[in-house]
Amino acid sequence: GSHMTTSSRYKTELCRTYSESGRCRYGAKCQFAHGLGELRQANRHPKYKTELCHKFKLQGRCPYGSRCHFIHNPTED
């Protein structure tokens, strides 16, 4: 297949070949991430920050803090 260098999904998914064998013939030119360190958060989860965090609502705090995928403050975007 043709290996495009730029794509909207560039480095947003792990390279299956690399994950399975630890190497990939495309190397640094691969459009997939080689390891979690390369993984980019291009498009966040569809439900990202769309629902209130139950922990935060009930307890007023959440162990995930700003990394939480749920809304802590309804004014948050």
Span 8-21, average pLDDT: 89
Per-residue pLDDT of 15-74, as tens digits, reads 999 999 999 999 989 999 998 888 887 556 667 778 888 888 899 988 888 888 888 877
Are 32 and 68 in a shared domain? no
Counted domains in the chain: 2
Say if residue 60 is in the same domain as residue 29. Answer: no
Q: State the Cα angle at 12 between 7 and 14, rounded to 5°.
A: 115
Note whether 27 and 58 are same-domain residues: no
Residues 12 and 31 grouped into a single domain? yes
pLDDT score, position 3? 56
44: tokens are: 């966040």
Please state the rounded mean pLDDT for residues 4-24.
83
- pLDDT higher than threshold 60 for residue 7: yes
39 and 60 both lie in a single domain: no
* Token pair listed for 48: 């990202």
Domain shared by 52 and 32, yes or no: no
Whether residue 60 sits in one domain with residue 32: no
Range of the domain at 55: 44-77
